[in-house]
Structure 1
Amino acid sequence: MQELGYSDSQAHALAQAAQREDHGPLLRHLLLRGLWSDVVDESQPQPQWLERWRDLGESGFPFINSPALQRLLDAGVDVHDLTDVVRSAQVLTIYNVAQLIDDPCRDLGYDVEDAPDLQLAYLADAGAPQRPGSLHDALEELDPAGRHGQPRSLELRRFGALPAALQEEIRGLLAQKAWSQTAVLWQRAVGGELAHCLAAMQSLARQL
């Protein structure tokens, strides 16, 4: 589990549950990990999903509208704005999928008379069905970006595009609440009015 990217505490907890023959936590983590793995990346300076989608479209893979993607890029749409919109749509989709797995009858409506009470479960070694636990409640915690599914702010996106050394310098100054120094550094790197840079740094400090 550690080789797959789980922390020591997560791997230990999952291993202990498995030893008790409680495979629900592992199943829940695997399902959530699989859902998040299909969400586009936010790599700087160029998101990798663009080339992947182009390759899939050229190979004849269904569902990928490569011509529409190219038209947006040709029209001058910022690739990172596009990434943020696509990611938001995907996060909403996997959240809805997680809810549907938790409650397959939810789309029938809660006021439908005699609606069936169906739930997905796995079979334990003894043959008794067991539920893996709520997926949608745990979905946000496993966001690879560490933002609990929340959209990326503009200042956070710009921060991620800065050189690593400058990022560390800004982190250190923000930890000291050296707002003026950080705002000057930000202005040199990103540009803009100093007052706006100061506000951006105070906002960024709450996000890091």
Structure 2
Amino acid sequence: MAEVEDPHPDGWQAQARQSFLTAMWNMVVDEDAYTDGSPSWIESRSGGHEQGRVPGSASAAALHRILACGVNPDDLTDVVRQMQHDLIYNVCQLIDDPGLLGIGLDEDWSEQTDVRWELVTVRTARPAARAPIDGLHSSLDELDPSGRSGEPRGRPAPHRGEEHDGLVDEGSSRTDQPEGRVATAAVLTKDTEGVAVQLTMVRPGS
């Protein structure tokens, strides 16, 4: 089936962008999910906290050691969630434009690259068409399931010596965006209406 560039892709392109970014957020820990009074992600990764239970992996053992030191599980959730957010944000920047992360801009970079990545939505329902998806990093925080647009919970910091109440500020530095042609592709998401999302490697100017 021949595919053509859609001259008016906005509707299903936005749908595909939202589908991809929602899938990215689904990989981030759910700060509101609890199992037996503990964050669900900790329970699932640590194997539970029953007396005498042997951790099944190095990361599970590390979680047991951290919690044994008296760390608040919710604080651990906040740190992990913010790091996961920063990771998926950087992945979105990498796809939008590697230059946003400084890749390819440093003359001392050991392996200069002449390729970049492009996220493409492919409509398999007739008429078949394809269109690039951009603006991922600038749209990511709009779909934050917490409604905080990527910001941390801002739980009160503990008292240290002097009396003070502060909010934890874990803001991350941001930059902004621009584009390129295809080489390899992988289908990342597909919905029931025949719209798929592909990640493609691009050689600028080809």
Q: Give the TM-score normalised by structure 2.
A: 0.55
Partners of 1:98 and 1:135 within 8 A in 2: yes
Unaligned residue ranges in structure 1 (runs of 5+): 1-19, 158-194, 204-208
Measured in 1, the distance between the counterparts of 2:47 and 2:20 equals 26
Q: CA RMSD in A?
A: 3.6
The Cα shift of 1:22 comes to: 4.0
Deviation per residue, 1:145-202 (Å, 9 max, x gap): 11111111115x9xxxxxxxxxxxxxxxxxxxxxxxxxxxxxxxxxxxxx97xx78xx
Figure out how many residues of one structure are paired with residues of the other and give that number.
140
Alignment of 1:15-26 (within 5 A): 22-26=11-15
The Cα shift of 1:107 comes to: 6.1
Task: Give 2:46's match in structure 1, choosing from 54, 60, 63.
Answer: 54
- Residue 147 in 1 paired to residue 148 in 2? yes
- Structure 1 pair 21/78, CA: closer, same or farther in 2 (3 Å)? closer
Task: Give 1:81's match in structure 2, choosing from 75, 80, 83.
Answer: 75
The 3-state SS of whatever aligns with 2:23 is: helix
The 3-state SS of whatever aligns with 1:129 is: strand
> Which residue of structure 1 aligns with residue 89 of structure 2?
95
The Cα shift of 1:111 comes to: 5.6
> Which residue of structure 1 aligns with residue 118 of structure 2?
119
- Structure 1 pair 27/68, CA: closer, same or farther in 2 (3 Å)? same
> Which residue of structure 2 aligns with residue 65 of structure 1?
59
The 3-state SS of whatever aligns with 1:120 is: strand
Measured in 2, the distance between the counterparts of 1:87 and 1:118 equals 25
Q: Give the TM-score normalised by structure 1.
A: 0.54
Measured in 1, the distance between the counterparts of 2:41 and 2:91 equals 21
| Structure having greater relative contact order (Cα 8 Å, sep ≥ 6) | 2
The 3-state SS of whatever aligns with 1:153 is: coil
The 3-state SS of whatever aligns with 1:23 is: helix
Letter in 2 for 1:122: T
The Cα shift of 1:133 comes to: 2.9
In proportion to residue count, which structure has more helix?
A: 1
